[in-house]
Amino acid sequence: MEILVCVKRVPDTAENEIKINSDGTDIERDDLVYSVNEWDNYAVEEAIQIRDRVGGAVTVATIGDKDSEEILRREMAMGADKGILISDDAFEGSDGKGISKILAAEVKKGKYDLILTGAQADDGAGQIGGMLAAILDLPYASIVNKIETVDSKKIKVGREVEGGNQEMNEIEMPCVLSIQTGINEPRYVGIRGIRKVASIEIPVHKAKDLGVDAASVGAAGAKVKRVDYFVPPAGKGADIIEGSAEEKADKLIELLKAKGGIK
């Protein structure tokens, strides 16, 4: 099976406090560590596991600048066979539709049975997989937490739906799936693994290589634009307990007892 996984380089904000820059145009990115989007990493792991079961190859592609090469190498160290960096100044400022158009052009250059994206990334929109499928006129399933290979024409996929239930579907290939976290346990990538793939050449595809009309993507083609970042005025919020850790624990225990939080 030929599998393409679309990945994105994002800042790791899970455990970090995010600050907005002085004019509100961006978050402060200088101190943030970047890595591959968590959802995408699960998608790559899933692709590798499918390839190891049924054969074929896994290609990882990303849209970004030179810095994005590092995440391609990371995913290749995991086991992806090829990496493609899709990079052009004309792509900057693309909205979801622009990104999807660029990725669709990349997909058309290959012959893939399965195209995977993460279910969402840092902006939480969760839109690329669905748009990509629609542009390519391929069937789509979102928030996939299980893939069973059936035969060369179709697969069975589980979608995570409300309440922890799983919606099972049969879907014809080629198809596009957006992958949910927890579908597998992504393997660890050590520095040694990354060194092994350090010298593999990663092709760079520009707008003209893909036949993408530069005016239809990037900031010029974007119909959905972010005006600013802001932090909404804080509500009342929690009563913050002050003091040493011991004092905080004592005060908290009193409150918990009053609210029935200690039996």
Partner 1 sequence: MAQQIFAYILHKNGVADDSALELVAAAKKIDAGAKVTAIVTGTGAPLDALCKEMAASYSSVWKIDNAAVAYPNAEVIRKILVKLIPKGSILLCPHNTFGMDLAPGLSIKLDASFVSDVVAIEGIDGSNLKVIRQEFSGQVSTHILCDISNGAVVNTRPGSFKADESKSAGGAVTDKSSEAGDLSAKRRYLELVEAQVGDVDITKSDILVSVGRGIGEKDNIPVAEELAKAMGGDVSCSRPIVDAKWLDKSRQVGTSGKTVKPKVYMALGISGSFQHLGGLKGSPFIVAVNKNVKAPIFQVANVGVVEDMIEFMPVLTEKISESK
Please identify, using beta-carbon distances, which residue of 124 and 211 lies nearer to partner 1. Answer: 124
How many angstroms separate the Cα of 45 from the Cα of each of 21, 112, 136, 138?
A: 35, 17, 24, 23
Hunting for tokens 């600048």 — which residue is that? 65
The reply to whether 57 sits near partner 1 by the rule CB under 8 A is: no
Hunting for tokens 């250059």 — which residue is that? 109
For CA atoms 181, 47, 80, 210, the dihedral sign is negative
Listed ranges 52-60, 71-79, 151-159, 192-200: which one lies at the site for partner 1 (CB under 8 A): 151-159
Give the residue from 60, 88, 77 showing the smallest Cα distance to 210. Answer: 88
Please identify, using beta-carbon distances, which residue of 198 and 253 lies nearer to partner 1. Answer: 253
Please identify, using beta-carbon distances, which residue of 76 and 131 lies nearer to partner 1. Answer: 131
The reply to whether 162 sits near partner 1 by the rule CB under 8 A is: yes
The reply to whether 172 sits near partner 1 by the rule CB under 8 A is: yes
Q: Least distance from C-beta 148 to partner 1, angstroms?
A: 11
Among 91, 158, 197, 218, binds partner 1 (CB under 8 A): 158
Please identify, using beta-carbon distances, which residue of 62 and 184 lies nearer to partner 1. Answer: 184
* Cis before 174 (ω within 30): yes
Q: Least distance from C-beta 240 to partner 1, angstroms?
A: 5
Cβ 205 vs Cβ 106: under 8 Å = yes
Among 167, 193, 206, 216, binds partner 1 (CB under 8 A): 167
Q: Least distance from C-beta 83 to partner 1, angstroms?
A: 25
Contacts (CB under 8 A) with partner 1, residues 103-122: 119, 122
How many angstroms separate the Cα of 159 from the Cα of each of 2, 10, 182, 248?
A: 22, 25, 12, 43
DSSP-derived 3-state class of residue 142: strand
Listed ranges 60-68, 105-113, 196-204, 243-251: which one lies at the site for partner 1 (CB under 8 A): 243-251
Among 65, 150, 169, 198, binds partner 1 (CB under 8 A): 169
Please identify, using beta-carbon distances, which residue of 214 and 222 lies nearer to partner 1. Answer: 222
The reply to whether 166 sits near partner 1 by the rule CB under 8 A is: yes
Helix (H) or strand (E) segment spanning residue 191: helix 191-196
# binding residues, partner 1 (CB under 8 A): 84
The reply to whether 89 sits near partner 1 by the rule CB under 8 A is: no
Among 20, 57, 194, 214, binds partner 1 (CB under 8 A): 20
Spell out the residues 6+ positions from residue 146 whose beta carbon is closer than 8 angstroms to its own. Answer: 156, 157, 158, 166, 168, 183
Give the residue from 168, 122, 145, 156 showing the smallest Cα distance to 9. Answer: 122
The reply to whether 208 sits near partner 1 by the rule CB under 8 A is: no
Cβ 31 vs Cβ 90: under 8 Å = no
